[in-house]
Structure 1
Amino acid sequence: MKEIFFDKGIHYKKLYYDSEYFKENGDSDASLHIKGAGMDATTISWSDGGFDKAPDDGSIKLGTFRSYTMFVSGKEAIIEDLTIENTAGDGRLRGQAIALYADATNVICRRVHLKGHQDTLFMSPLPLEEREKGGFTGPRRDCPRLMTTQYYEDCIIEGDVDFIFGGANATFKNCTIVSLYRAPLRDMTTISKEQPATYVEQAVQGFVCAPNTPKGESGLHFIDCNFITDRCPDGSVYLARPWRPDGAAVFENCTFGPHIHPDLFAGWKDIHTLEPTARFYIKSL
């Protein structure tokens, strides 16, 4: 297993650990152990947004799956004691912005703070098919859709829209899930010399997770997690909506702040109509 240590401080890096990395480093095991000096001491930081122009082709946008701060692949990735952040900011302005793209067959994160806004944490696999041409442009677009097993313990994950998403079977144990407030944006259609700009509040502030669980798989499992907000209004955040019809998530013995909408779950195209094949549940001890 390749050991990588990041010392205290902010490390401005876009990190990509794929098969070429393992080959160049003579690591036939294709396994990583990435460790920092502490969740509050070590930060890996980048700021790519999905609306940014791709550096290799300025005529197209970077897109969701090339916006990551850290990409990990291979057989196993263990990440501990650091923060990974994407500082692109509001997705309405910069697009989706992934902090961690977790693609290894087995992923373990302990005491990791993931910071972003829209699409903070992506857990492979991608859905089988795109809904828009070029929507999956990135590291795994043309690769087989292989299941991953992921485990997050004592982590903090923050964002606003679909900020925990993907097709993995993933367990979140004793994590703090923070929904960030989306401030009103200036309505550009009203700006003129005669009429001042107005601000439009978001009635729905966000969605915590958006699983695209393959049929027959278990999806996301939150255990003893605390769902809080910085300042989202009461009832303005949904726990989950299915990125694909079979999306699955279970919330067991979790605590929910008043920002969580009383309906708990939403549909994808119409928030008021949940897909009948989605599997979303609340469990209590």
Structure 2
Amino acid sequence: MVMKLILFILLLEAASFSVSSSRPSHEFEVIEKEYLNWVRQMSSFKHSLFGKGKNKFKPCLIKRVNKKPKAGEFASVQKAINSLPVVNNCRVLIIIGAGTYREKVEIPPTMAYITLQGAGAGKTIIEWDDTADKMGQSGHLLGTYGSATFAINSPYFIAKNITFKNKAPSPPSGALGKQAVALRISADTAAFIGCKFIGAQDTLYDHIGRHYFKDCYIEGSVDFIFGNGLSLYRDCHLHAVTNGYGALTAQKRESLLEETGFSFVNCKVTGSGALYLGRAWGTFSRVVFVYTYMDKIITPRGWYDWGDKNREMYDSN
């Protein structure tokens, strides 16, 4: 049975403001001063939420990637990206034909304004199978950051109708080093429309920046949407694949002054196992669910404090 929940989970700023705390009074004065500075900043038009994006939508260049040699200029997505100028300042549309592209892709910070357009999320698939405990070319472990099948480090990125997949096997509960990221976005002002993100542990690394996800499907087991982005997920399908305990989000907001957080609007949560809506990765983790349908897989507790009782302040309606 599916329940319609109007659920606001605000892992709020109050952890450091407990009146029962044994902190000396001068510490509270410092906290109050910082809070008032934050209020003044947020009430002005100078903070990042009101910053105007300098996006470019009309393409100046179109490139085609296709599994069939005669149907495109390139047979791989990375080769198409490598063909661009090191510093790219105009919108480039890369059209990717149907097929499974088994490759690890990274977009460097200077290549802004890239749009990837697939033939459909069920038809255009980019996949790899790295995990955090694998050794990289540098001789060091990849770590969660380096395990991504697709990594974006440049601003104004757009992806439409593509599946990003990490094929690493789903690890047993509590396994170390088995984080396997399907996509990492580490840049500002990105949009994903009609895309799928498939993985198990740590599927979508919503690392830093402002991001918009529309009509996307995100599948995983533990912390399968995680990071410290300021992101809106609208009309998305979030699907858990676990036989035990799992967690949908792990948001890493560390300070009251950070403007980050995940918002889910008109989404649905389905799947198997027992699912926390979130684990408080950061001291001030912030996740909001609004008008979201949920299967009866959500644990009554709702979220997990990551072993820190100071992170247990929240508001639920």
TM-score (norm 2): 0.66
Q: Which residue of 128, 140, 145 corresponds with 1:46?
A: 128
Q: Which residue of 91, 101, 104 corresponds with 1:11?
A: 101
User: 1:118, 1:160 within 8 Å by CA — same for their partners in 2?
Assistant: yes
Deviation per residue, 1:160-210 (Å, 9 max, x gap): 00010011110000100000024xxxxxxxxxxxxxxxxxxx4xx210000
Offset, 1:50: 0.8
Offset, 1:282: 5.1
The answer for the alignment partner of 2:250 in structure 1 is 210
Aligned length: 222
Q: Higher relative contact order at CA 8 Å, sep ≥6: structure 1 or structure 2?
A: 2
The answer for the alignment partner of 1:258 in structure 2 is 296
Shift >4 Å, 4+ stretches: 280-283
Offset, 1:74: 1.7
Question: Match of 1:80, as an amino acid?
Answer: K
Deviation per residue, 1:52-86 (Å, 9 max, x gap): 122321xx422111000111122211111010000
CA distance in 2: counterparts of 1:62 and 1:214, whole angstroms = 24
Q: Compare the two structures and name the one with the higher strand fraction.
A: 1
Question: Match of 1:111, as an amino acid?
Answer: G
Q: Which has the larger radius of gyration?
A: 2
* Structure 1 residue matching 2:195: 3-state secondary structure: strand
CA distance in 2: counterparts of 1:122 and 1:274, whole angstroms = 25
Deviation per residue, 1:111-150 (Å, 9 max, x gap): 000000011111123xxxxxxxxxxxxxxxxxxxxxx111
List alignment gaps of at least 5 residues for structure 2: 1-90
Q: Which residue of 77, 80, 90 corresponds with 2:170?
A: 90
The answer for the alignment partner of 2:200 in structure 1 is 117
Offset, 1:265: 1.1
Q: Compare the two structures and name the one with the higher helix fraction.
A: 2
CA distance in 2: counterparts of 1:274 and 1:266, whole angstroms = 12
Percent identity, aligned pairs only?
27
User: Kindly tell me: are residues 47 and 160 of structure 1, through their superposed partners in 2, closer, same or farther at Cα, counting changes over 3 Å?
Assistant: same
CA distance in 2: counterparts of 1:90 and 1:163, whole angstroms = 12
CA distance in 1: counterparts of 2:315 and 2:96, whole angstroms = 38
User: 1:156, 1:178 within 8 Å by CA — same for their partners in 2?
Assistant: yes
The answer for the alignment partner of 1:140 in structure 2 is none
Offset, 1:214: 4.6
CA distance in 1: counterparts of 2:251 and 2:162, whole angstroms = 25
Offset, 1:213: 2.0
The answer for the alignment partner of 1:32 in structure 2 is 114
TM-score (norm 1): 0.74
